[in-house]
Amino acid sequence: MSMAACPEVAVVGAGPAGCVTALAFARRGARVLLIEAQSTSSRRLAGEWLHPPGTEVLQRLGVGPIPRAADHAAGLGFVVFPGLDVEPIVLPYPGKTLGLSCEHGALVEALRGAAAAHANIVFLPCTRVTEIAKQRLGLVNGASGQPCSLQAGLIVGADGRSSLVRRCLGLPDERRLVSYMAGVLLEDVQLPFEGFGHVFLGGPGPAFVCRISPQHVRVCLDIPVSYCQFAKDAARLYEAYSPALPASLRAAFHKALQNDEVACTANQLRPRIYYGRPGLALVGDAVGHFHPLTAVGMTLAFLDGYGLATCKSFADYRRERSEQSCVAEMLANALYKMFTLDDEGAASLRKATYHIWQETRAERRRTMRLLSGEETDLVQFNQAFLKVLALAARQTVQEGARTWRWRHAGRSLRRLGELVAWLAAGNVSGLLRGLSNGGVR
């Protein structure tokens, strides 16, 4: 019987998460079947930034350099543009660590090529999974239309947010719409800080901008649900977001909008709680996802796939990834709240955060370690967040005393108190999640 008919591991989905998972198992000697319904590389709006822990996974797997990511500046960190006459804040990755930015389709193409070339991996494109019953997979080949079935010791769902594998596990969907994302591709422009991901504030939602090829820059606009009609209206998109962008990008931004070069997707939240069961595991977005402002989703997916292949048991995998994903999830939610909520408390928090980033190199380093997924200690996150909250409260009281606007200060302090309660709830949730996962074998 061929390896394709009796794999040790069957990975459903050959996106970045699935390819990395397949390569991680294959490098350990497992016979792997990689199954993908699409025939070509994905061209959808999806992950195009990889933090240093993700690039380290690729290095361990012997993948790289990614051809279309090697000929432009590497991922050096983030730059935040607060607007309102506040200077840009540069947040480099600590030490000599580097991220990676690349057009999504090019990254998928490179990873699928690496997987297909591995002696221990059989890649089945144009093949759709129709059912999963215990360890048996039902398949249909798109080219021939012929159904078949096979048995696998481990089935891995790397098939994204609408995961069939997740549905077969009977798990709750739990997705919640947060906002929409409009992706705009700019040609032949220079970024203010080449090699960095740029976060521009001042529009209806944040704009994340990065170079994905020598000729192309991706602009990702966060569109609040109440502004959803903007996604298809070029004139309104330009009017709303161009003031937050530097002048050097506006002409190309206007041209791309006029040429209708906009890709749209929904930003959804799903807690990273369920990792599957022994013999049927989930990785990447099939586990859960949050707002892409911190661009950590693809990095977590790579760490999921590598962790699943290297952990001794499914229980170890679930416990390890639950513990190590908690900080990234809380930080992504906290930053999105801080950058998008329009109230006195959020404004106070933003002001305090900018001050700490500007004045303290150690806090800039800690922020990037937390944001990239390199630092997973909840204590470190708590210390950073509470330091910002304390400064915001002190500045609020000082401002109230100086201006005698005590009602305004009171509203700000109440909002900051709510954020302390949110932080405490998140810590309790993370602790309970860890205890639950640690107790299941």
Better pLDDT: 376 or 92: 92
Q: How many domains does the chain have?
A: 3
Strand-pair category, 176-187 with 262-269 = antiparallel
Mean pLDDT across 21-41: 91
In a domain, 90, yes or no: no
The span from the CA of 328 to the CA of 373, in Å, is 6
- Give the confidence band of 410 by pLDDT, cuts at 50, 70, 90: low
pLDDT at 397: 60
Partnered with residue 224 across adjacent β-strands are 179
pLDDT over 90 (residue 434): no
Burial pattern 241-280, b for ≥16 Cβ within 10 A else e, equals bbebbbeebbebbbebbeeeebbebebbbbbbbbbbeeeb
For the segment 222-246, the average pLDDT, to the nearest whole number, is 89
Does the pLDDT at position 416 exceed 70? no
User: What six digits make up the tokens of 416?
Assistant: 């900051």
Residue matched to tokens 């506040």? 86
Query: Do 289 and 373 lie in a common domain?
Result: no
Mean pLDDT of all residues in 298-306: 97
Same domain for 11 and 140: yes
Could you tell me if 259 and 381 lie in one domain? Answer: no
Token pair for 223: 């569109």
> What domain range is 118 assigned to?
3-63+102-174+271-321
Residues 56-93 as b or e (16 or more Cβ within 10 Å = b): bbbeebebeebebbeebebbbbbbbbbeeeeebbebbb
User: Is residue 45 domain-shared with residue 119, that is, in the same domain?
Assistant: yes
pLDDT of 425 above 60: no
Boundary (domain end) residue, out of 258, 293, 321: 321
Of the candidate ranges 76-85, 154-163, 242-251, 419-428, the one whose mean pLDDT is the lowest: 419-428
Q: How does strand 32-35 pair with strand 9-12?
A: parallel
pLDDT band for 426, please (50, 70, 90 cuts). low
110 and 62 Cβ atoms separated by less than 8 Å: no
Same domain, 28 and 122: yes
Task: Return the percentage of the chain with pLDDT > 70, whole number.
Answer: 86
Residue 54 belongs to domain with CATH number: 3.50.50.60
Per-residue pLDDT at 248 exceeds 80: yes
Mean pLDDT of the chain: 87
Q: Are residues 307 and 199 in the same domain?
A: no
Q: What string of DSSP letters covers 33-49? A: EEE-S-SS---SS---E
Reply yes or no on whether the pLDDT at 408 is more than 90: no
Structure tokens of 122? 């059989």
Q: Is the confidence at residue 1, as pLDDT, over 60?
A: no
Q: What are 99's strand-pairing partners?
A: 75
Give the chain's length: 441
Nearest C-alpha neighbor of 11 from the set 100, 111, 107, 146: 111
Residue 225 belongs to domain with CATH number: 3.30.70
> Is residue 406 within a helix (H) or strand (E), and if so which, with residue range?
helix 406-438
- Domain end (from 256, 289, 321): 321
For residues 387 and 310, membership in a common domain is answered with no
pLDDT of residue 29: 96
